[in-house]
Amino acid sequence: MTDSAQTVASAWSNWPLDREVVIARVVEADRETAFRAWADPEQIVQWFGPSGFQIETAEIDIRTGGIWRFEMVAPDGTRFANLMEFIAVEAPEYIEVFHGSGAADDPDRFRMRVTFDAQDNGKTVVTLRQMHPSAERRRIVIGFGAVEYGGQTLDKLAAHVARVAASSPQGA
């Protein structure tokens, strides 16, 4: 295990559970297809975000050290500034980011790890783990619907990768 991988693993293993949110979904696609849906700038903008939300990207570079600066636009037109800073992109295993608004010293910025676990049946379990800065912040994000929105985002991912898998030459 590299030093950076050990640092990442240590951060997760020592994180207090009262600050964590975990959301998972089985998708009808192999691990590589599911991973590419997150790592390919042309794909992620097609499905990312809760139901009814649109993504407007200002800058995107999905690699270790890269960033994705975008706005989520709600159905009512409300705009939410977002910045993902990619800590680690390890194909096809995981993607880890700091996710916040992009504001200087954003107190609500959280760490998120997305893992892709291949199943024997050709499906993939996609798991999002969010580490929030405090137990109170975790309560706030759960209260405003982050778990439901995360589930909707994974539903949109599932629909996207199912379409990609169905249209690939080898089938689903």
pTM: predicted TM-score of the whole model, two decimal places: 0.88
In tens, the pLDDT along 16-56 reads 789 999 999 999 999 999 999 999 999 999 999 999 999 99
Tell me the DSSP string of 60-114: E--STT-EEEEEEE-TTS-EEEEEEEEEEEETTTEEEEEEE---TT-TT-EEEEE
Residue 3 is assigned to a structural domain of this protein: no
Is the predicted pLDDT of residue 166 greater than 90, yes or no? no
Residue 38 is assigned to a structural domain of this protein: yes
Give the pair of three-digit tokens for residue 93.
Answer: 């295993």
Q: Residue 172: what pLDDT?
A: 40
Residue found by looking up tokens 């009808």 in the block:
28
Residue 94 is assigned to a structural domain of this protein: yes
In tens, the pLDDT along 91-109 reads 999 999 999 999 998 989 9
DSSP assignment letter at 28? S
Residue 1 is assigned to a structural domain of this protein: no
Q: What is the CATH number of the domain that holds 51?
A: 3.30.530.20
Residue 13 is assigned to a structural domain of this protein: no
Structural domain count, the chain? 1
Residue 30 is assigned to a structural domain of this protein: yes
Q: How confident is the model at residue 171 (pLDDT cuts 50, 70, 90)?
A: very low
Q: Measured between alpha carbons, how far is 25 from 155 in angstroms, rounded to an integer?
A: 8
Asked if 59 and 140 count as a contact pair (C-beta separation under 8 A), the reply is no
Residue 115 is assigned to a structural domain of this protein: yes
Q: Residue 56: what pLDDT?
A: 98
Residue 65 is assigned to a structural domain of this protein: yes
Give the residue numbers spanning the domain of 95: 19-167
User: Which of 9-13, 29-33, 111-115, 155-159 has the least mean pLDDT?
Assistant: 9-13
